[in-house]
Every structure is written in C-alpha cells, then in structure tokens.
Amino acid sequence: MDSGIGLLAATAAVRRLRPDADLVLSLDPDGMPWGPRTPEDVTQRALAVAEAAAAHRPDALIVGCNTASVHALTALRARLEPDLPVIGTVPAIKPAAAGGGPLAIWATPATTGSPYQRGLIRDFAAGVRVTEVPCPGLAEAVERADQAAIDAAVAAAAALTPEDVTTVVLGCTHYELVAERIRAALHRPGRGPLVLHGSAGAVAAQALRRIGARPAPDASAEGRLTVLLSGREGPLPQAALAYPEGRHLPLTSPAH
C-alpha cells in the first residue's frame, strides 16, 4: 500500500524474490499526495487504504510509503495485527550511516524533521553529519511521470545537499523510481561515486521472512495482480508505465 505508485519499488523487489506471488496493490489516488497532509489525516487515509487491501486476505501487508510508516505504522499494526503482519518502510539511515561519511536524507516535507526520522538519526547516525533535505513536489512529479517537474524538484533538492555528501538516503519510495536521475544531479567532478540507499529490497525480504516464505524456485511462475484505487478495483495507473518497475508488472502479472 501507498498513496500512489511509490509502492512500485517494493512491488518489483517482491516480484524478483517471488514471481509466483499474487499481489494486491492498494493506492489512494483520491487522497494523493500524502506528504503535505497532517499526521492525523495521513493516518486516516492509510487505515482506509490498508483495510481495502486487507479485505483481499493477504498473507502480509507492506506499507510501501515512508510518510505512512512515519505517521501511521503504530495505528496500522494496532488495527491489523496479529492477524495480518504489517511491514513498514523505514528510511535506510542505519546502513547509510555505517559508511561514516556525511550523508543527506531526501524525504517529503511531512517526513523531514519528524520525531520519527530524528529518532532514527539519533539512534543510528550518532557522530555522522546528517543533512535533512525536504523535497517538496518530487513525489507528486514522480506520481504524474511529469519529466520537467521531476527535473526541477530534483535540482532544487540537489541545491540543498552539501557538496561533500557521499551518501544519500532516499526517504520516500517514489524517489527510488528516479534514483539514477538523483545520482546524476548530485554528481560532482572529481568526487568518488555517490552511494544511494533505498528501502525496497530490505522491505521485501522482511515481508517474506515474516510469513516464512522463501524465494520461488520456479522463476517462470506468474502471480496475479489486483490493483485497488482508493478501494475500487481498477487498472494500474498509466504513469506507472513510465518506469521499469511498472512496465514489468503487466508482462509478468496477468490482471485479476
């Protein structure tokens, strides 16, 4: 679940591990974007989207959204667990800080500066210089596949990122869909390679661990795909096809 197509990153990661899995993608086009909403509003939207997915009786629910995880994860787990394991998406601050270099966290305005993110910085990045970079409009631009708006939002965030930063945490799942454009915008001549840390792979692996599942031995197996748009079954949003993670789904997931 996510406000929009940011969940494609985790979806693609699950698909790589279990191509036979039946997937339910629960999006909220009626309420998108969640980033500028109040924590209370995000929680209510997230609960509605999660319950729409839960009605399909999945084995696990991945909250493929950093903003929802920051503000609504406790409420989601209180509502759905233990019957339905809920796996949140946490900004990858811990592995990023392990490198020791100065790092930046790109995130939505709702996540940037939140007590949750500040707590992760305190717990896992003590002694590392961390710059929190708000990225207004970037998730929305990715959601629309608006190429000019993506470039403008990435450039604005890059301008707020210190020159000596060697590691960037992608603190919104939408950003993982344009990771290489972010890398290009932050390229500095003469500087070593920039390391980007997303969360999709770790989240997918954790979901499989929670339900005791192993990677499928038959890579040719094809699971079904169900798309929920603010609770209504519908097609994958057209903008999803602008990204490899979205284009892969119709090819490997016959619509349910």
Strand order through the sheet with 195-197 = 130-134, 103-107, 167-170, 195-197
Residue 245 near residue 8 (C-beta atoms within 8 A): yes
Type and span of the H or E element at 167: strand 167-170
CA distance 138 to 36: 12
CA distance 3 to 25: 10
DSSP 255: B
Packed helices 244-252 and 8-17: angle between N→C axes, nearest 10 degrees: 50
> Could you tell me where the beta strands, DSSP code E, fall in 71-128?
86-87, 103-107
Catalytic residues: 65, 172
Q: Which residue has the tokens 């972010």?
A: 182
